Amino acid sequence: MLCAGCCVLVLGFLYDLDMDLRLRRTERLTRQSDIDAVYKTGRRHHAKFFRIHVKPNTLPFSRFTVSVPRKVCTAVLRNRWKRMLRESFRLNKEKIGPGLDIVAVPTRAPEELQRQQVEFVLVELVKKHRGKP
């Protein structure tokens, strides 16, 4: 059911116009010291194609970054991983919730992986971290 003026259907997906769909600069982990802290004190959760390192923060929003090792795949595929993971985070910010620093690390080439699959796995790994069923 579409509400009057607040939702729009784009390419088969229903988007709420009231929700901020941008990935703001503040929602990105950019400082190396912050990323190192996530690796050192954060928890790891694994899936078939990538793992996430998660550390709680005191901010009213979550921050995200992607780190793709060179040995995983070629530059073109590394960039594809970055695009898919950032887009997955951007579209699922509400499901992921506030207060987390997340570093996603792909462990193999994306092959025929679709963004919707990446979104599902990312949200499931965050739920696993938060202890939700």
- Which residue in the block uniquely carries the two structure tokens 């790891």? 44
* HSE-up (13 A, CA, CB side) for residue 131: 0
User: Among the listed ranges 14-18, 26-30, 53-57, which one has the minimum average pLDDT value?
Assistant: 14-18
The tokens 């207060």 sit on which residue?
99
Task: Write down the domain spans for the chain.
Answer: 22-130
Read off the pLDDT of residues 48-99 as tens digits, 9 standing for 90 and up: 899 999 999 998 989 999 999 999 889 999 999 999 999 999 999 989 889 9
CATH of the structural domain 22-130, one choice from 3.30.479.10, 3.30.230.10, 3.40.630.30, 3.40.50.2000: 3.30.230.10
Q: DSSP letter at 57?
A: -
Number of CB atoms found within 10 A of residue 70's CB? 8
The tally of CA atoms less than 13 A away on the side-chain side of residue 115 is 13
The yes-or-no verdict on residue 17 having pLDDT over 50 is no
Q: What is residue 1's predicted lDDT score, i.e. its pLDDT?
A: 47
